[in-house]
Amino acid sequence: MLTAVSALSRGIRLVYRKGLKRYIFVPILINLGVYAGLITFTARRFSGWVDHAMASIPSWLDWLSWLIWPLFVMSLLVAIFFTFTLVTHLIAAPFYGFLAARVERSATGVEPLDDRGLAKTAVDAVGRELVKLRYILPRAALLLVMSWIPGLNLFAPFLWALFSAWVMAITYLDYPMDNNKVSFKEMRWRLANRWWPSLSYGGLVTLITWIPLANLFLLPGAVAGAVLMWEAHYRDLKRLPAPAVQENR
């Protein structure tokens, strides 16, 4: 059975083959621009955010400040990179959708069910990203609030890690599913039904996003790897129809 590691490694090799490389340059440039802007913005404000958070700790928790400080910094870093990922994928979604379709044809020999054409596919890809944001942002906001509450923020880094893995699974595995007309609700059901492949792949992609600069060149490979995961774990997974209700006679 295809694992997250083998899917990602095969995906990275696939996207740098002749015929696919042209689909990855624009996403790489987009990621580079957003990455540079985020680093600049964060470097100017990070120490102020940390100082403000530490000043809000009540006096009766001063004895835990040695633990709260690193946990808060970890939560803040995760939230920053989480935001970076959301922004870059919103902008790069149409290109990643094209890349996923091209990989599916090349690697599996199967044509995606999507027949919308390039222009409509691009528009719909952005719309799909907005649907994801409506799902993700309220949950991310709740975790962000927890990261600022003394006591609760002890658990925040672990919850952020789990949530980030789930979000990356939704983000990347949705590209081939959207190309095959799987609804957002159905996509979440399929991911939850195969929770280990989903979280392991999402967790691996999350780790990639933390590799400075190298992540810009690895993330297109994650799109290709998601296509391989779709083929191995999710394509034939469908809900069983609800049993018919028989009337009493």
Across all residues in the chain, what is the average pLDDT?
79
The C-alpha atoms of residue 164 and residue 209 are separated, in whole angstroms, by 11
What pLDDT sits at residue 89? 74
Q: Is the pLDDT of residue 86 over 60?
A: yes
pLDDT at 203: 94
pLDDT at position 185 over 90: yes
- Do the Cβ atoms of 187 and 174 come closer than 8 Å? yes
Residue whose structure tokens are 């392991």: 200
Residue pair 226/30 in contact by the 8 Å Cβ criterion: no
**With bands split at pLDDT 50, 70 and 90, how would you rate the model's confidence at 41?**
confident
Quick: pLDDT tens for 121-141.
666 777 888 899 899 989 988
Q: Quick count: other Cβ atoms within 10 Å of Cβ 53?
A: 19
Residue reference for tokens 């280990």: 196
pLDDT of residue 215: 76
